Amino acid sequence: MKAIAFRHAYSEGLGNLAEVLYELNIGYQYVEAYKEPLKEFKAEEPDLLIVLGGVVGVYQAEDYPFLEDEVRIIEKRIQAGKPVLGICLGAQLMAKALGANVYKGANGLEVGWAKLSLTDEGKNHPIAHLCETKSPVFQWHKDTFDLPAGAVRLARNDTYENQAYKYGDNALGVQFHPEVTQDSLESWFVRMCDLVEKKRVDLSALRKDTQQYAPAMKKQTGLFFKEWLKEQGFSKNA
């Protein structure tokens, strides 16, 4: 079994998800989406595709053409019934692949720890391991998207309505970042220096929240990801 992760920045890796893949004996490798020849990528070849986050917007494809390649690859995988998980930018690219609009959110930047509110469908999905009573999740995004036709919303919050959704049984998009670890977030905090300088982020409070919430999210992310992978046909003995 092999997983491919499309990465858009070295600081945005698999984190907590990598530990689960290792535990289940699922090998993985990164494809640097912004510089590798995605036009040659065989969409149906990997057993699992994970599309990670990034700072670009889906609507910037004219300047960043690799985004169009990712949309095409995701669309092909969904049509083929192959598992694909989109995280933040990945969830937005998936929405685009399913024909929905992606745009700057009217409520502006969402950054920090926040609780999810599950829909009825979400309560019966592996995402329930990350519900509001079990662990907040980490957010950092300014864009959002319309729920694609035929998709099922699994979670929302007070800032943005589409926090998690599924399409069919094989495609899952999450707007938040279940993959981040306490250590990796320190590098993200450096990238927030402009927000810190402009007083849009209270870094001291953010570090305090991270110390409090990151261990719980790591545990709950493990439960969520293992259950979702099991539904996709992955197991420790695969």
Catalytic residue positions, numbered: 88, 177, 179
Q: H helices of 65-179, where? A: 66-80, 89-97
Q: What distance in Å separates the CA atoms of residue 46 and residue 3, rounded to the nearest whole number? A: 6
150: left (phi over 0), alpha (psi -120 to 50) or beta: left
User: Which tokens sit at 86?
Assistant: 């989109």
Burial of 150 (0-12, 13-18, 19+ CB in 10 A): exposed
Neighbours of 101 (CB within 10 A): 12
Using an 8 Å Cβ cutoff, are 97 and 75 in contact?
Answer: yes
The position carrying tokens 């949309």 is 71
Q: What distance in Å separates the CA atoms of residue 111 and residue 115, rounded to the nearest whole number? A: 12
Q: What distance in Å separates the CA atoms of residue 40 and residue 222, rounded to the nearest whole number? A: 32
